[in-house]
Structure 1
Amino acid sequence: MAPHTPSSSKLHSPPPYEDQTSPYFLPSSDNPGVQLVTQQLNGSNYINWNRSMITALMAKNKLAFVDGSIQRPLHSDLLYAQWLRCNSMVVSWLRNSVVPEISSSIMYIDDASLIWSDLRDRFSQGNFARICQLKQQLLTLKQGSEDVGAYFTKLRILWDEYKDFQPARWCTCDSCRCHSSRKWSEFQMQECSMQFLIGLNPSYSQIRSQIISTTPLPSLQKIFALVLQEERQRSIEQQSPVISTEIQGSMINATGTARGRGGKGKFLCTNCGKTSHTVDKLFELIGYPPGYGRGRGKSQGYSTEGNRSINQMSAPKAAVFPQGSPALSTSDMAKMISYLQTQMQVSSSPAPAQQISAPTKADVYNFGGVSPSVIASPPFSGSFTGDCDWEG
């Protein structure tokens, strides 16, 4: 019978530092400059930092170097050199994961487990004090001016930390029939759901009443989805009238038309609001075209300046006298009227008539600086007796 020989797998088993499942294994991607967590420890965020570091060290398979599972071996141990390499790597990661002020205080500690315990003793608060602080923050947490998403995120951060401090109820019976662990978890979720509904603004009272009256109570994620849907629906209802008004105004300004009854397009003036024309064709602003309204009392000038001149020509004759001219005396008026009557008789009679000298420059000055040629014929005929009823 052949002697028993050990299997080849046992004879050629790799050392621990070459086994990828061993804590002593260091892949090429690991280096001392790596920062395992994005949020560095600053003293007040120790609980969140601690949980993040535990997760990162477990992913690196190096948690045993900080929780005391692997102690420092003797110098004569074959794994001492490899332990020293792994320990130095974890120490570098811990120093990179804290702020510079805290890093300088642990610079001369070479054991990763000692650094871990030192940070825990310095920054870990007492459970009772922290629970009271979290409970107070939960009771005073309200939505306020924040949206539903931001309010829900704050609540979950506080509630998860508060739940972590509470003891977990485990089943004590021999064969589990009470499901105490599941019931305790459901109770925690119901408490968080009620806290979320209580902190909502009063405007969500209707949706809150509908959720509370539901049996059984929906899950926390379902409640958050319902409230978030209500918030989005309200935002759509508030924006709809504004959007429709802006679109309608932009269409009117762009095309100059508005839809009337029966779907037919009509012109719409943005100046007067009438539908017979547009603002770029409003005659009161751009002037009337030549020949417009002839025979109906409309002015025939195209521009507004022409309209003013035509209106001035059709004004009463007294309007041609310059403003501020001196008043005419009775004798001056009589001379002027006599001169005009003589000119009318000369033009209407073929026989030679007595020539009356035209007013001199001095007479024109006495008339108020107005030349007789610019004064039209008076609207009366016949002889003048000399009596002027202008004096009363």
Structure 2
Amino acid sequence: MAPPTPPLKQQQHQPPYEDASSPYFLPHSDNPGVQLVTQQLNGSNYSNWHRSMTTALIAKNKLAFVDGSLEHPHHTDLLFTQWMRCNSMVVSWLRNSVIPEISSSIMYIDDAYHIWNDLRERFSQGNLARICQLKQQLFNLKQGAEDVSTYFTNLRILWDEYKDFQPSRWCTCDHCRCHSARRWNDFQMQECSMQFLIGLNSTYSQIRSQIISTTPFPSLSKIFSLVLQEERQRSIEFGLPQSSLTNTEVQGSLINATGIARGRGGRGKFLCTHCGKTSHTVDKCFEIIGYPPGYGRGRGKPQGFSTDTMSRSANQLSSGDTMITQAQGVVPPFSTADMTRMISFLQSQMQAHSSSTNTQISPASIKDGKVFGDASAPASMSPPFSGSFSGDCDWEG
């Protein structure tokens, strides 16, 4: 028969300041100059600061020094010295986590628990005013010129702070079986999702209607993913960066692509890509084909279809204006070569008739496109636009 196994040696009891699981333990990395949170308390951000400091103190295993669970020991206690050391460390962390003005007001408070309560009593009393401010900001929050990701981030910042002021659950029974906390959290997420959809631009009305009619209602993360995919799809179709796909700019890109602009009373339905004016297209632009006789009488407009206008139009066509017009979505009825040959032919005809006109017809005998006096003048001398012109034209944008 085997001899009995000797009992294990009992481990020696470690003092609390050497036990890593004890709040009295201070690792070598801890020092009074550490700033536990990046955002210091300035008075108006107490809710966010409180949550950040609570998380940091839990990670340092020092929350017991500020919530009152570890009371001040008597000076005869063996742990009194170690408690004073840890308490002074937490006091230094609290002073480093507030702005200098607030730090001066707590400089003579030596207990971390008293500092924690003093800051709470001073800066947590304006909860109702902050809740009202958050509700107003959420009501006025719209996407506007921001992309979907930036708009969603701004919404979550406001909504999470607003949710923190509300109770986590309504059930008061000791052992809850109605799952009120879970249902309350689901309701809060649904409210945040609806707020996100309401603030989107009108260009997302179709995807918004599809999401609202979905059963069961998707989660907030799923809704954000669907809207973000819609934004990326539009950036591929329009060839624009995601940040520029606002309502106004999308409408502008559609207008430039089709060459159609909005007008009043049926006027201004067309947009000329050459001069930028409305009520006509590029194939009827007077700056290219020339002005009719008597156009703009009394308004400083050109009075005839001059050779300089024809030459300038030919140069513009040869320099590639027609290519630009085609690239913008407005295709003229003639090709560049056809229009160039037509303009060259008209220029030669006008130069031939201009030399004969100087000898047969005086300048005073031409009025409103009609020849007076000498009947032997050739009939082909009439300007390219026959008849009289009243001066009222729908061409002006």
**Under a length normalisation based on structure 2, what TM-score does the superposition of the two structures give?**
0.57
Q: Deviations along 1:29-50, whole A, 9 cap, x unmatched?
A: 1111111011111111111011
For residues 120-159 of structure 1, what are the structure 2 equivalents within 5 Å? 120-159=120-159
In structure 2, the CA distance between the partners of 1:28 and 1:152, relative to structure 1 (3 Å rule), is same
Residue 172 of structure 1, CA deviation: 5.7
In structure 2, the CA distance between the partners of 1:174 and 1:50, relative to structure 1 (3 Å rule), is closer
Whole-Å separation in 1 of the counterparts to 2:113 and 2:226 = 47
Whole-Å separation in 2 of the counterparts to 1:197 and 1:21 = 47
Whole-Å separation in 1 of the counterparts to 2:134 and 2:125 = 12
Cross-structure match for 1:113: 113
Aligned length: 240
Whole-Å separation in 1 of the counterparts to 2:41 and 2:195 = 30
Q: Deviations along 1:177-235, whole A, 9 cap, x unmatched?
A: 53322222111111110010001111111111111111111100000011111112212
Cross-structure match for 1:9: 10
Q: Secondary structure at the match of 1:36?
A: coil
Whole-Å separation in 1 of the counterparts to 2:230 and 2:33 = 48
Whole-Å separation in 1 of the counterparts to 2:123 and 2:201 = 36
Whole-Å separation in 1 of the counterparts to 2:97 and 2:75 = 29
**Identity rate, percent:** 78
Cross-structure match for 2:165: 165
Misfit runs of 4+, over 6 Å: none
Cross-structure match for 1:220: 220
Q: Deviations along 1:153-177, whole A, 9 cap, x unmatched?
A: 1111111121122223355678755
Whole-Å separation in 2 of the counterparts to 1:59 and 1:47 = 19
Whole-Å separation in 1 of the counterparts to 2:71 and 2:46 = 25
Q: Secondary structure at the match of 1:52?
A: helix
Q: Deviations along 1:278-308, whole A, 9 cap, x unmatched?
A: xxxxxxxxxxxxxxxxxxxxxxxxxxxxxxx
**Under a length normalisation based on structure 1, what TM-score does the superposition of the two structures give?**
0.57
Whole-Å separation in 1 of the counterparts to 2:22 and 2:177 = 39
Whole-Å separation in 1 of the counterparts to 2:81 and 2:62 = 16
Whole-Å separation in 1 of the counterparts to 2:10 and 2:155 = 55
Q: Deviations along 1:342-391, whole A, 9 cap, x unmatched?
A: xxxxxxxxxxxxxxxxxxxxxxxxxxxxxxxxxxxxxxxxxxxxxxxxxx
Cross-structure match for 2:268: none
1:98 aligns with 2:98: yes
Cross-structure match for 2:300: none
Q: Secondary structure at the match of 2:81?
A: helix
Residue 59 of structure 1, CA deviation: 0.2
In structure 2, the CA distance between the partners of 1:48 and 1:175, relative to structure 1 (3 Å rule), is closer
Residue 272 of structure 1, CA deviation: 5.8
1:43 aligns with 2:43: yes
Whole-Å separation in 2 of the counterparts to 1:7 and 1:131 = 61
Cross-structure match for 2:201: 201
Structure 1, unmatched stretches of 5+, are 1-5, 243-269, 274-392
Cross-structure match for 1:33: 33
Cross-structure match for 1:286: none
Q: Secondary structure at the match of 1:43?
A: coil
In structure 2, the CA distance between the partners of 1:271 and 1:184, relative to structure 1 (3 Å rule), is same
Amino acid at match of 2:166: Q
Moved more, 209-218 or 53-62: 209-218
Residue 125 of structure 1, CA deviation: 3.2
Amino acid at match of 1:128: L
For residues 1-392 of structure 1, what are the structure 2 equivalents within 5 Å? 8-9=9-10, 12-169=12-169, 171=171, 177-239=177-239
Whole-Å separation in 1 of the counterparts to 2:195 and 2:203 = 16
The RMSD of aligned alpha carbons is 2.4
Q: Secondary structure at the match of 1:9?
A: coil
Residue 13 of structure 1, CA deviation: 0.4
Whole-Å separation in 2 of the counterparts to 1:175 and 1:107 = 44
Q: Secondary structure at the match of 2:120?
A: helix
Cross-structure match for 1:373: none
Q: For the pair shown, which has the larger CA radius of gyration, 1 or 2?
A: 1
In structure 2, the CA distance between the partners of 1:166 and 1:174, relative to structure 1 (3 Å rule), is closer
Whole-Å separation in 2 of the counterparts to 1:73 and 1:175 = 35
Q: Secondary structure at the match of 2:24?
A: coil
Amino acid at match of 1:68: G
Whole-Å separation in 1 of the counterparts to 2:30 and 2:212 = 52
Q: Deviations along 1:257-293, whole A, 9 cap, x unmatched?
A: xxxxxxxxxxxxx9666xxxxxxxxxxxxxxxxxxxx
Whole-Å separation in 1 of the counterparts to 2:81 and 2:168 = 41
Residue 129 of structure 1, CA deviation: 2.5
Residue 131 of structure 1, CA deviation: 2.1
The structure showing larger relative contact order (alpha-carbon pairs under 8 Å, at least 6 residues apart) is 2
Q: Deviations along 1:316-349, whole A, 9 cap, x unmatched?
A: xxxxxxxxxxxxxxxxxxxxxxxxxxxxxxxxxx
